[in-house]
C-alpha cells in the first residue's frame, strides 16, 4: 500500500514539540471587562485624596481599594433596582435590612449604625419655577440621599430627580486634602451640598411669599385662598426635609466613636451645622409668615362676606317697603282711604319711590351700600 506523504503543518508541530518538550500553548482569550449597571452613576477609587483613572466595575474597585493603602471607593447609585442593590450589598457586606432601606424612598433624615457601616439619610430639595402660582402648583420637589459609610467604601443612593451629586463629586475632587480624610469626606460634601440647596430653595420661597403678600394686601385682593393653601403645603414639605436633619448632624459632632467622624472633619461638619441652622430659622420664619398671610386672607374673606350680607339686607329692606305698600293697597277693601281717588295710583308710586330713596340714602351714609 502506498504511504501518504506527511504534511508540512504536522511536521512543524512535531518539530516544536521536540524542541520545547511540550505542545505549543493555545491562545488564551483576554478576560472580558465587566460593565457597571445602568443605575451606577459613577464609580471611582481614591488614593490619598486623588481619583485613580478609569471607571472600573464596583466589585473590582472595592477589591483594589482593600488592597491599597489610604484608598477607598465611592459608588454612586440613582434609583437602583432590587437585583442591583442586592448585588451591591453582597459585594460591600451590607446586611439585608440596609439593602431594604436603600430600595425605599421618603425616609426621615437620620443616622443609623449597621455593624461597621454607618447610614446617613438626608432629604433633597429643589425649586420648580412657576410663572404663576395656582392651587395645584408644586414649587418644591423633594427626594432623599442615603450615604453608606464603611472602612474602605462610601455608597450614595439617590431617589428622585433633585439633589444630583455630580457637582458634589467634581467639587470635592478639587480638594484632595479634605478627600484624603476618607469616606467621611464624601459624607461632608453631600451634607454641604444639601444644605446649600436648602438655602437656595429658601431664597426662591421667600420671593413667592413676597408675591403672595402683595396680592393679599393689594386693593383688588386677587389672591385666592386655595393658592395660599397650596403654597402652605409646599412650605410644610420643605420644612419636613430641613428641620429633622439638625439632630442627626449634631449627633455626629458629639458622638465619640473611633470609627465615626474623623477629627480632621469636625470643623467642616460644624460649618455645615451652622448653615443648616440658618436654613432652619428661615424655613420656620417662612412657615409662620405664611400662616399669618393665610389668617389675614381669611379675615378679609370674612369681612367681605359681612359686607355682602349688609348690602343684601339693605336692598331687602328697600324692597320690603315697596312690597308692603303695594300689598296694603292691593287688598282692595271698600273703605280703604283714597282708594277711589283719581290720582291715588300715582300717589302710591310716588310714596314708594320716596321711601326707597330715603332708605337708600340712609344705608349709603351708614356704609351698608
Rounded mean pLDDT, 203-226: 77
Q: What is the pLDDT of residue 42?
A: 92
Report percent pLDDT > 70 for the chain. Answer: 84
pTM: 0.73
Residue 49 CA to residue 149 CA, distance in Å, equals 16
B/e letters for 138-161, b = 16+ CB within 10 Å, e = fewer, are ebbbbbbbbbbbbebbbbbbbbbe
Query: Does pLDDT of 277 surpass 90?
Result: yes
Domain range summary for the chain, segments of one domain joined by +: 40-299, 303-366
Please report the DSSP string for 274-340 in residue order: HHHHHHHHHHHHHHHHHHHHHHHHHHHHHHHHHHHHHHHHHHHHHHHHHHHHHHHHTS--TT-TTTT
Please report the DSSP string for 125-180 in residue order: EEE---SS--TT---EEEEEEEEEE-SSEEEEEEESSS--SHHHHHHHHT-HHHHT
CATH architecture of the domain 303-366 equals Up-down Bundle (1.20)
Helix axes 183-216, 166-173, angle to 10 degrees: 130
Burial class (CB in 10 A: 0-12, 13-18, 19+), 356: middle
pLDDT tens-digit readout, 35-69: 888 889 999 999 999 999 988 999 999 999 998 88
40-299 CATH, one of 3.40.190.10, 2.40.160.20, 3.40.50.2000, 3.30.460.20: 3.30.460.20
Q: 329: how many CB neighbours lie within 10 A of its CB?
A: 19
Rounded mean pLDDT, 243-254: 89
Q: Measured between alpha carbons, how far is residue 144 from residues 15, 92, 98 in Å?
A: 69, 21, 15
pLDDT tens-digit readout, 116-136: 899 999 999 988 876 666 666
Among the ranges 102-106, 151-155, 232-236, which has the highest mean pLDDT value?
151-155
Q: What is the pLDDT of residue 30?
A: 41
- List Cβ<8 Å contacts ≥24 apart for 278-283: 278/199, 279/195, 279/198, 279/199, 279/202, 279/242, 280/242, 280/243, 280/246, 282/199, 282/202, 282/206, 283/198, 283/202, 283/205, 283/235, 283/238, 283/239, 283/242, 283/243
- Chain mean pLDDT for the chain: 82
For residue 105, give the DSSP letter. -
Q: What is the pLDDT of residue 71?
A: 93
Query: Does pLDDT of 227 surpass 60?
Result: yes
Q: Which residue did the predictor score with more confidence, 255 or 15?
A: 255
Cβ proximity of 205 and 242 under 8 Å? no
Q: Count how many Cα atoms sit within 13 Å of the Cα of residue 203 in the half-sphere of its side chain.
A: 5
Cβ proximity of 184 and 262 under 8 Å? yes
Q: What is the pLDDT of residue 185?
A: 94
Q: Which range has the worst mean pLDDT, 8-12, 86-90, 238-242?
A: 8-12
Query: Does pLDDT of 209 surpass 50?
Result: yes
pLDDT tens-digit readout, 332-349: 766 666 667 777 778 878
Query: Does pLDDT of 89 surpass 80?
Result: yes
Amino acid at each position: 500500500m502506498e504511504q501518504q506523504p506527511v504534511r508540512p503543518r504536522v511536521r512543524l508541530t512535531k518539530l516544536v514539540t521536540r524542541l520545547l518538550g511540550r505542545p505549543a500553548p493555545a491562545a488564551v482569550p483576554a478576560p472580558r471587562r465587566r460593565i457597571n449597571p445602568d443605575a451606577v452613576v459613577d464609580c471611582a477609587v481614591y488614593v490619598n485624596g486623588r481619583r485613580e483613572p478609569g471607571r472600573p466595575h464596583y466589585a473590582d474597585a472595592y477589591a483594589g481599594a482593600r488592597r491599597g493603602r489610604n484608598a477607598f471607593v465611592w459608588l454612586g447609585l440613582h434609583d437602583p433596582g432590587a437585583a442591583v442593590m442586592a448585588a451591591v450589598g453582597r459585594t460591600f457586606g451590607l446586611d439585608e435590612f440596609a439593602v431594604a432601606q436603600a430600595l425605599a424612598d421618603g425616609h426621615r433624615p437620620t443616622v443609623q449604625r449597621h455593624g461597621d457601616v454607618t447610614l446617613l439619610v438626608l432629604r433633597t430639595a429643589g425649586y420648580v419655577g412657576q410663572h404663576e402660582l395656582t392651587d395645584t402648583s408644586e414649587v418644591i420637589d423633594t427626594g432623599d440621599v442615603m450615604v453608606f459609610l464603611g472602612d474602605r467604601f462610601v455608597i450614595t443612593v439617590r431617589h428622585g430627580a433633585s439633589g444630583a451629586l455630580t457637582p458634589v463629586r467634581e467639587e470635592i475632587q478639587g480638594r484632595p486634602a479634605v478627600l484624603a480624610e476618607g469616606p467621611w469626606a464624601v459624607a461632608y460634601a453631600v451634607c454641604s451640598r444639601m444644605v446649600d440647596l436648602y438655602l437656595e430653595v429658601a431664597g426662591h420661597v421667600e420671593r413667592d411669599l413676597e408675591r403672595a403678600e402683595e396680592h393679599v394686601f393689594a386693593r383688588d385682593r386677587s389672591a385666592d385662598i386655595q393658592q395660599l393653601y397650596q403654597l402652605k403645603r409646599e412650605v410644610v414639605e420643605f420644612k419636613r426635609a430641613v428641620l429633622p436633619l439638625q439632630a442627626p448632624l449634631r449627633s455626629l459632632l458629639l458622638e465619640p466613636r473611633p470609627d465615626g467622624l474623623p477629627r480632621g472633619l469636625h470643623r467642616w461638619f460644624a460649618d455645615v451645622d451652622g448653615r443648616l441652622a440658618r436654613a432652619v430659622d428661615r424655613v420656620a420664619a417662612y412657615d409662620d409668615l405664611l400662616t399669618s398671610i393665610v389668617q389675614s386672607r381669611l379675615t378679609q374673606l370674612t369681612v367681605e362676606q359681612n359686607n355682602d350680607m349688609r348690602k343684601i339686607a339693605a336692598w331687602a329692606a328697600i324692597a320690603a317697603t315697596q312690597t308692603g305698600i303695594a300689598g296694603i293697597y292691593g287688598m282692595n277693601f271698600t273703605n280703604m282711604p283714597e282708594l277711589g281717588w283719581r290720582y291715588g295710583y300715582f300717589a302710591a308710586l310716588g310714596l314708594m319711590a320716596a321711601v326707597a330713596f330715603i332708605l337708600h340714602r340712609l344705608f349709603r351714609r351708614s356704609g351698608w351700600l
